[in-house]
Amino acid sequence: MNRILYLSILLLLSYNALKAQTVECFVLTAPETRLTEIKRLSVLDFSGEKGRQLTDYLIVELMKTDRGIKSISGGLFSAAKEGKTFQKGARTNLYSVVERDQIDKVLKEQNFSNSGIVDDAQATQIGKVLGIDAIISGSVSYTSKDEQSETTTYDLSGKASSVPCLKRTVTAEARIRIISVTTGLVIGVCSPKAEFYERKCGSERSGIQSAAAIANACYQDLAFKLANSFSPYFKNVKFEFEKIKTKEFKDKSKLALDYIESSDFDKAANIYKAILEADPYTAAAAYNLGCLNTIVGNYDEAYQYYKTAAEIDEAAFGQYVKKAEAQVEMNKILQAMGISIEKQGFESTTAALADKIKTRGNKSDRFDAREKPDGSSASVARIPGDTEFTVIKRDGDWYLIKLLGGKQGYINQTFVK
C-alpha cells in the first residue's frame, strides 16, 4: 500500500477513535423570504427557452413534504446513508399551488400570455380571478461553452499518447418575482444560478450530452433553489456529542452515546439529565442535552441547555448560545408561516444512573427473585430471562433489583449475563 495513503488511513482511524458520537441529520430551516400571509399561489410559465420545464420543476419542489432531505455520505469505508429528520411535524409543502389548466383558462379569458411576461397589474388581475394570494412570474436563460483539451493515456507497454477531450459547460440563471394579489406589490425576488458540465475524451466525445440536456440538470437545481428562497427546506446538520470524562459517570456516558448511535434519544437524554442533576457543573451533559433538543426541534429547551453549558465553560460552549438564539427566532418564523414542530419531551429520572443487569437465557426462561440474598429464601417473583433490571444495590453474589408493581427482590449472579 502507498505509504502516504497508509498514514492517512491511520490518522483517520485515530481521529475517529478520539471522537465521541456524531449524528448527521436534517433540520427544518426558514427561507430568506418569509411570506407569512401567503397560503395559495400560482406559477406562470417562465419566459425563455425551456421555461415551461422550469415551471414544472418548481411546482414539483413546492409540493414535496421533505425537500432537501437526501442520502448522506457514510464516510471513507461506508456506503451512503439514508437522510432523515427527527423533527415531528416539520414539512416543506407550505403552499397550495393552482393547477396549470386553471391558469391557462384564466389567461385565455383575459387575453394574457402564459409566458412569465406580465406586469404587476396584470398579475394582480389574474390572481384575483384565480382566488389566490400571490402569483410568481419570471424568466430563465442558459448559455453553454465548449472547451477542448488533451489528456495523456498509457498502453500496456507504458507508451504515452495524447487523447483529445471535450468539456461542455452549461450555466443557467432564473429570475422570479412574487407579487401579492392583495396589494399588487412585489413581495419577493430571487435570481439563482446553476452550472453543470460533462467531459468526455477520445471516441466518447461524440456521445457528450447536448447543451439542452445538460440544461435540464441546471433547471432542476434552479427549481430547488427557487423553492428554498421562499419556502422552508431541510438542511443537513452534523452534531458532535461530547464524552463525559468524570470517572463517576464514564460508564453511563458511554451508554448514552450508544443510545445516540441507535437514535434512541429519549434514553440518552434521561442519562444526561440524571448526570446533570447529580452534578450540575457537568458542562458536557448540558451541551449534549442542547444537541438532543435541537435535533428533535425543542429549540427553547436547547437554548437553556446551551446557556447552562456556556455558563460553566464559556470557552468551549459559548459559541452555541448565539446559534441557539437564532434557532429560537427561526422557529417563531416557521410558526408564523404555519408550521409547528411538535415538542418532544425527554423524561427525567435519576434511575438512569442506576446500574443495570440482564438475566441469562431467553424470555421463556424463569428465575426466582428471592426475598433475601439467600438461595433458600422465599421467592417473591419468577422473572424472565434476557430481561434488563435496575439494580438497587449489590450484596456479595446477589443483586437487589426492581420488580414490577414497586416490588424488589434478590437474584444471584449465576443467573446474570
User: 122-160, pLDDT tens digit by residue?
Assistant: 777 777 888 889 989 899 999 999 999 999 888 888 888
Question: What residues does CATH 1.25.40.10 cover in the chain?
Answer: 241-327
| pTM of the entire predicted model | 0.77
Cell numbers for 122: 396584470
- Nearest Cα to Cα of residue 353 among 281, 246, 243, 252: 252
Question: What residues does CATH 3.30.160 cover in the chain?
Answer: 21-231
Confidence of residue 13 (pLDDT cuts 50, 70, 90): very low
What percent of the chain is modeled with pLDDT above 70? 90
Q: CB under 8 Å to 373, separation ≥6 — which residues?
A: 395, 396, 397, 398, 400, 410
**pLDDT at residue 290 is higher than 90:** yes
Percent composition of the chain: helix, strand, coil (DSSP 3-state, to 5): 40, 30, 35
d(CA 415, CA 417): 7
Confidence of residue 3 (pLDDT cuts 50, 70, 90): low
CATH code for the part of the protein at 241-327 = 1.25.40.10
Whether the CB-CB separation of 229 and 31 falls below 8 Å is answered with yes
Q: What is the pLDDT of residue 17?
A: 43
Q: CB under 8 Å to 334, separation ≥6 — which residues?
A: 28, 30, 232, 340, 341
Q: What is the pLDDT of residue 10?
A: 46
d(CA 292, CA 273): 11
pLDDT tens-digit profile of 27-64? 999 999 999 889 999 898 899 989 999 999 999 999 99
3-state secondary structure of 156: coil
Q: What is the pLDDT of residue 244?
A: 92
For the residues of 166-181, what is the DSSP string, one character each?
Answer: EEEEEEEEEEEEEEET
Whether the CB-CB separation of 172 and 215 falls below 8 Å is answered with yes
Most confident of the following: 36-40, 392-396, 405-409: 36-40
How crowded is residue 85: how many other Cβ atoms within 10 Å of its Cβ?
22
Q: What is the pLDDT of residue 118?
A: 61
Residue that is written with C-alpha cell 431467553 in the block: 362
Q: What is the pLDDT of residue 395?
A: 85
Question: What residues does CATH 2.30.30.40 cover in the chain?
Answer: 354-415
Between 292 and 5, the more confident residue is 292
Q: What is the pLDDT of residue 298?
A: 96
Mean pLDDT of the 103-126 span: 69
Q: What is the pLDDT of residue 121?
A: 73
d(CA 148, CA 204): 14
> Torsion over CA of 46, 51, 53 and 55, rounded to 10 degrees?
-10
Q: What is the pLDDT of residue 218?
A: 97
Q: What is the pLDDT of residue 15?
A: 40
d(CA 44, CA 138): 8
Q: What is the pLDDT of residue 16?
A: 42
**For all residues of the chain together, what is the average pLDDT?**
88
Residue that is written with C-alpha cell 416557521 in the block: 334
pLDDT tens-digit profile of 202-244? 999 999 999 999 999 999 999 999 999 999 999 999 999 999 9
pLDDT tens-digit profile of 330-383? 999 999 999 999 999 886 655 666 677 889 999 888 899 999 999 889 999 998
What is the DSSP-derived secondary structure letter of residue 165? E
What percent of the chain is modeled with pLDDT above 90? 60
Is it true that domain 21-231 has CATH number 3.30.160? Answer: yes
CATH code for the part of the protein at 354-415 = 2.30.30.40
Q: What is the pLDDT of residue 9?
A: 45
> Torsion over CA of 197, 202, 203 and 206, rounded to 10 degrees?
30
Q: What is the pLDDT of residue 1?
A: 47
Between 317 and 78, the more confident residue is 317
